[in-house]
């Protein structure tokens, strides 16, 4: 310490008794003993210097969250202690950050959860507890085990003394990792109440939570499909993603199956929740072959959601995204015929006849002459008869259209082409 008297040179001093003619030569005098001025040193208490393949790191159990498991997209509370290990006051403001990391080192790929600004000074050799509630693990955080890392004075706003842990840099002990870990869970989209079954095609998932209210539907007509979507993971499933509805002749989504619908989910879905989806008016294509079909739902068909390993096993979170309905429904085809027909029999076997076929003239016509033929066509099936198709008018020496002893003679392909049975566009029935 140094004292300088009459530092403003207001006095006219006599020649100094100590030296020479300048009376101010002895105005400045230093103390005979030294003293140290110490700065703050921010860190976390109860830390230990550890080492792994990534190098040295500081770890402390004074950083923790009450949760062992948290879903991506959901919040956690983080507690940590701040210690001013120096002898100086840490002067506000400064900022502390909370990160999550897959290892013990703050580096690329780590995820920042929080930046908190300290707005009060912190005395030397004091400790402060900080609770940061509701820090959200970002949606789509890859599932796995994470550590909390606290970085004190992240903006290097506090001038710190050389760290008490050694070295000349007072910031070396500002970044400390938690000694305990916690797990982040991703979403896991599936259909609830499913069972893992097996047939000749291999394993498949089946659930009664996929169904249509009808047991029988005609090709070319619409059906409503209901299914439940379950997020079986703890993470939030982030929109958008797409779900598809297929129909299949078996329990497996493969070639030849028919896509009925692609629905885009436009809202997030929290973990461990279910939602019901109704897709109305899904059209069974008119050329669908008649028979028994299964509904198959493929969730997240575009693989837009990062899913955790499936609860049904395996490392692939998508293994339970495709689920088949446990009940089937039948698709009916069209059935074109002439109405009011009767099944008759002659020596040539059975044949069908109907008064809905008339000619003009009705009884006699000359070879080479025009004959007007009127007939009625009925779609007696459930399915839509989708144009184009052809009808033909023949004359035959018997009641049978064949090429045998009395071959029928093809006269004229019918001019009628149309779509018969279409609910909205069918020709108006005539009387």
CB of 100 to another protein, least distance (A): 58
3-state secondary structure of 273: strand
User: Would you say 317 or 381 has its CB closer to another protein?
Assistant: 381
Please report how close the Cβ of residue 283 comes to another protein at its closest, in angstroms: 16
Report if residue 358 touches another protein, rule: CB under 8 A.
yes
The β-bridge partners of 218 are 332
285 counts as binding another protein under rule CB under 8 A? no
The answer to whether 418 contacts another protein (rule: CB under 8 A) is yes
Shortest separation between residue 249's beta carbon and another protein, angstroms: 14
DSSP-derived letter for residue 423 is T
Within residues 8-47, the interface with another protein by CB under 8 A covers: none
Minimal distance in Å, beta carbon 363 to another protein? 6
Query: Tokens 């020496």 appear where?
Result: 397
Q: Give dist(CA 98, CA 133) in Å, integer.
A: 12
3 vs 411, which CB is nearer to another protein? 411
Closest approach of Cβ 258 to another protein, in Å? 14
Stretch that binds another protein, among 37-45, 92-100, 156-164, 403-411 (CB under 8 A): 403-411
Nearest approach, Cβ of 324 to another protein (angstroms)? 24
CA dist 50 and 157 (Å) reads: 27
- In Å, how far are 61, 82, 93, 244 from 153, measured between CA atoms? 19, 10, 9, 50
* Smallest distance, another protein to C-beta of residue 365, A: 6
355 binding another protein? (CB under 8 A): yes
95 binds another protein (CB under 8 A): no
Q: Is residue 349 a contact point for another protein (CB under 8 A)? A: no
Q: Do the strands 273-283 and 222-231 form a parallel or antiparallel pair, or are they unpaired?
A: antiparallel
Strand 94-101 to strand 144-151: parallel, antiparallel, or no bridges (unpaired)? antiparallel
Phi, psi of 223 (to 5 degrees): -135, 160
421 binds another protein (CB under 8 A): yes
Instruction: Map the footprint of another protein across residues 101-120, applying CB under 8 A.
Output: none
Q: Quick one: which of 104, 112, 94, 87 has its CA closest to 49?
A: 104
Q: Which residue has the tokens 């101010």?
A: 24
The CA radius of gyration of the chain, in Å to the nearest whole number, is 43
**Looking at 23, 162, 192, 290, which residue binds another protein (CB under 8 A)?**
290
Determine if 272 is a binding residue for another protein (CB under 8 A): no
Query: Do residues 79 and 63 touch, judged by C-beta distance below 8 A?
Result: yes
Residue 24 gets the label, from left (phi > 0), alpha (psi -120 to 50) or beta, of: alpha
Q: Does 198 bind another protein (CB under 8 A)?
A: no
Based on the shown chain and the rule CB under 8 A, indicate whether residue 336 belongs to the binding site for another protein: yes
Q: Which stretch binds another protein (CB under 8 A): 81-89, 163-171, 273-281, 330-338?
A: 330-338
Q: Is 431 helix (H, G, I), strand (E, B) or coil?
A: coil
Q: Rounded to whole angstroms, how far apart are CA atoms 354 and 342?
A: 6
Residue 429 in the binding site for another protein (CB under 8 A): yes
**Binders of another protein among 378-397, rule CB under 8 A?**
378-383, 385-386, 388-397
Pick the stretch among 20-28, 111-119, 307-315, 327-335 that binds another protein (CB under 8 A). Answer: 327-335
In angstroms, the CA 310 to CA 187 distance is 9
């Amino acid at each position: 310490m140094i004292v300088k008297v009459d530092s403003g040179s207001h006095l006219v001093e006599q020649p100094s008794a100590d030296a020479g003619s300048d009376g101010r030569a002895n105005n400045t005098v230093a103390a005979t003993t030294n003293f140290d001025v110490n700065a703050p040193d921010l860190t976390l208490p109860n830390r230990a210097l550890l080492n792994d393949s990534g190098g040295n790191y500081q770890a402390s159990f004074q950083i923790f969250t009450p949760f062992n498991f948290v879903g991506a997209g959901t919040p956690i509370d983080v507690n940590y202690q701040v210690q001013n290990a120096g002898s100086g006051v840490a002067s506000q403001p400064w900022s502390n950050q909370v990160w999550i990391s897959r290892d013990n080192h703050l580096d690329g790929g780590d995820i920042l959860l929080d930046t908190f600004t300290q707005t009060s000074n912190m005395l030397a050799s004091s400790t402060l507890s900080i609770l940061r509630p509701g820090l959200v693990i970002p949606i789509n955080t890859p599932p796995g085990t994470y550590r909390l890392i606290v970085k004190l004075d992240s903006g290097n706003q506090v001038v710190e003394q050389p760290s008490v842990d050694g070295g000349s840099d007072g910031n070396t002990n500002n970044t400390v990792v938690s000694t305990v870990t916690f797990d982040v869970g991703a979403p896991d989209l599936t259909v609830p109440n499913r069972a893992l079954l097996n047939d000749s095609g291999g394993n498949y998932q089946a659930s009664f939570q996929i169904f249509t209210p009808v047991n029988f539907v005609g090709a070319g007509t619409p059906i409503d499909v209901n299914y439940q979507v379950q997020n079986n993971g703890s993470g939030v499933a982030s929109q958008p993603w797409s779900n598809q509805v297929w129909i299949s002749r078996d329990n497996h989504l493969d070639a030849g199956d028919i896509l009925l619908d692609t629905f885009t989910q436009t809202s997030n879905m929290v973990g461990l929740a279910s939602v019901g989806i109704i897709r109305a008016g899904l059209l069974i294509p008119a050329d669908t072959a008649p028979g028994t079909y299964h509904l198959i739902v493929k969730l997240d068909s575009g693989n837009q959601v990062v899913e955790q390993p499936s609860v049904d096993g395996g490392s692939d979170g998508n293994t339970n995204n495709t689920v088949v309905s446990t009940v089937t429904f039948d698709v009916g085809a069209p059935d074109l015929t002439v109405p009011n027909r009767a099944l008759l029999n002659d020596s040539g076997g059975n044949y069908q006849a109907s008064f809905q076929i008339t000619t003009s003239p009705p009884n006699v016509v000359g070879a080479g002459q025009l004959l007007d033929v009127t007939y009625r066509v009925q779609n007696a099936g459930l399915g839509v008869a989708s144009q184009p198709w052809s009808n033909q008018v023949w004359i035959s020496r018997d009641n049978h259209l064949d090429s045998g002893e009395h071959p029928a003679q093809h006269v004229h392909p019918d001019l009628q082409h149309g779509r018969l049975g279409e609910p909205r566009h069918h020709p108006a029935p005539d009387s």
